[in-house]
């Protein structure tokens, strides 16, 4: 397995990680727990060392799943989890909005350690910026957790360049996690240059556009009633139909490279910067193997230029998230 280091942090992870959210939430009913335990352990056997979870995925169920699966191999893996939503730590009730008060951050860390069956969190992200709490206070709280040995590295999710700078000035940020793919490139204008300047790694969630870039979704696709994509503007039938031009571009390159569209989408991301790590999620072993196969796909400078030039001529339709959710991001 190829490895990458997240910026200047020294945190080394597999070049492709595994996003675990969909195993318990967001894409319909939770998958079979024991099947997911088996999948997570198989991922480790395949060389994956970087696993992404959060208290909000469930809530709590995803951390519990990851904790059960990875406890036997804890010293071989890097586990990233998150704080920042206003969730009752006893009942799991979502109270709406965000909560990054320092005392809440520390309480979330203690609860996560128990669910993950571990004595340290390798990478602790703020899930969303909290406008009511100064970023300096957030970074200070995580700095105290790091000093206590309960957290190893600090991260931010969906944060803008200004928030990243403020946090990094108090406690070095190891990685920023945001959506990034050929379908959504919003981080390119300000965030990626900031990360490069400061020596911070970039972790890409939804690197396959929530499944769209696999080529398995079109305007006729229907989703489970509890699948979040039902509420996402870019998954509306008209938007999907218009955006198929991007899938056709990826598919054409895949055919030439004897690869799949998903592998081309991931290989494109890997070729952008040596400190970028995508974390595609899946609940299926053959998809895990397909995604890891992207590491064997070589895109030349000519390939990348072709993809970028062709993609720049495609007018993509639909917002990447509902408006209410977009307001909680810094992008």
Domain for residue 159, yes or no?
yes
Whether 62 has a pLDDT exceeding 90, the answer reads yes
Residue 256 within any structural domain of the chain? no
35 confidence band (pLDDT: 50, 70, 90): very high
What per-residue confidence (pLDDT) applies to 324?
83
What Rg value do the Cα atoms of the chain yield, rounded? 19
Residue 139 and residue 133 in contact, taking contact as beta carbons nearer than 8 Å: no
Tokens 């206590």 correspond to what residue?
A: 148
Is residue 322 included in any domain, yes or no?
no
Question: CA 293: distance to chain centroid?
Answer: 19
- Cα 28 to chain centroid, rounded: 18
pTM of this prediction?
0.97
Whole-number Cα distances in Å, 324 to 95, 108, 232, 233, 251: 15, 24, 11, 12, 33
* Number of domains observed in the structure of the chain: 1
Residue 261 to residue 214: CA distance in whole angstroms = 5
Q: What percent of the chain has a predicted confidence (pLDDT) above 70?
A: 100
pLDDT band at 269 (very low <50, low <70, confident <90, very high): very high
Cβ-proximal residues to 111 (8 Å cutoff; 6+ apart), any chain? 55, 60, 89
Average pLDDT, the chain: 97
pLDDT reading at 176 higher than 80? yes
Q: What is the mean pLDDT of residues 73-82?
A: 98
What is the average per-residue pLDDT within 214-222?
95
Q: Is residue 253 part of a domain?
A: no
Residue 237 lies in a domain: no
Cα–Cα distance list, 155 to 15, 161, 208 (Å) = 18, 13, 22
Tell me the two tokens of residue 233.
């503007």
Q: Label residue 325 by pLDDT band (50, 70, 90).
A: confident
Write down the pLDDT at residue 327: 84
Sorting pLDDT into bands at 50, 70 and 90, what band is 326?
Answer: confident
Q: How many CB atoms lie within 10 A of CB 286?
A: 8
3, pLDDT greater than 90: yes
Residue 59 region by backbone torsions, left for phi larger than 0, else alpha for psi between -120 and 50, else beta: beta
Comparison of pLDDT for 322 and 174, the residue scoring more: 174
Note the pLDDT tens digit of each residue in 156-175: 999 999 999 999 999 999 99
The b-or-e profile of 1-19 (16+ CB within 10 A means b, else e) is: eeebebbebebebbbbbbb
Task: Give the three-class secondary structure for 145.
Answer: helix
Closest CA to 330 of 200, 248, 275, 321: 321
Look at residue 102 and tell me if it is in a domain.
yes
Residue 69: predicted pLDDT: 98
Q: By residue range, what is the domain housing residue 42?
A: 3-208+270-297
8 lies in some domain: yes
Establish if 163 belongs to a structural domain.
yes
> What is the per-residue pLDDT for 198?
98
CATH number at residue 180: 3.20.20.100
pLDDT digits (tens, 9 = 90+) for 110-143: 999 999 999 999 999 999 999 999 999 999 999 9
Cis check: omega of the bond before 59, within 30 degrees of 0: yes
Contact present, 53 and 127 (Cβ < 8 Å): no
Catalytic residue annotation: 57
């Amino acid at each position: 397995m190829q490895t990458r280091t997240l910026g200047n942090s020294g945190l080394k992870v597999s070049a492709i990680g595994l996003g675990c959210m969909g195993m318990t939430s967001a894409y319909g009913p939770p998958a079979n727990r024991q099947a997911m335990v088996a999948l997570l352990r198989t991922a480790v056997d395949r060389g994956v060392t970087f696993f992404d979870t959060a208290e909000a995925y469930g809530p709590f169920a995803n951390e519990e799943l990851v904790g059960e699966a990875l406890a036997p191999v804890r010293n071989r893996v890097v586990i990233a989890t998150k704080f920042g939503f206003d969730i009752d730590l006893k009942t799991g009730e979502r109270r709406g909005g965000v909560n990054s008060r320092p005392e809440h951050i520390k309480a979330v860390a203690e609860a996560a350690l128990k669910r993950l069956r571990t004595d340290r969190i390798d990478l602790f992200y703020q899930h969303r910026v909290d406008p009511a709490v100064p970023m300096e206070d957030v970074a200070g709280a995580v700095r105290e957790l790091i000093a206590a040995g309960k957290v190893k590295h600090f991260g931010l999710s969906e944060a803008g360049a200004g928030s990243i700078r403020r946090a990094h000035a108090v406690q070095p940020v190891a990685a920023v996690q945001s959506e990034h793919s050929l379908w959504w490139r919003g981080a390119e204008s300000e965030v990626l240059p900031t990360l490069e300047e400061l020596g911070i790694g970039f972790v890409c969630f939804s690197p396959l556009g929530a499944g769209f870039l696999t080529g398995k979704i079109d305007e006729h696709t229907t989703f489970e009633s509890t699948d979040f994509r039902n509420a996402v503007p870019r998954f509306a039938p008209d938007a999907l139909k218009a955006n198929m031009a991007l899938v056709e571009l990826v598919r054409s390159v895949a055919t030439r490279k004897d690869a799949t569209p998903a592998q081309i989408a991931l290989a494109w991301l890997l070729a952008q910067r040596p400190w970028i790590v995508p974390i595609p999620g899946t609940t299926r072993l053959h998809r895990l193997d397909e995604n890891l196969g992207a590491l064997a796909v070589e895109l030349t400078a000519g390939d990348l230029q072709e993809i970028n030039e062709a993609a720049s001529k495609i007018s993509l339709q639909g917002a990447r998230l509902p408006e209410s959710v977009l307001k909680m991001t810094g992008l």
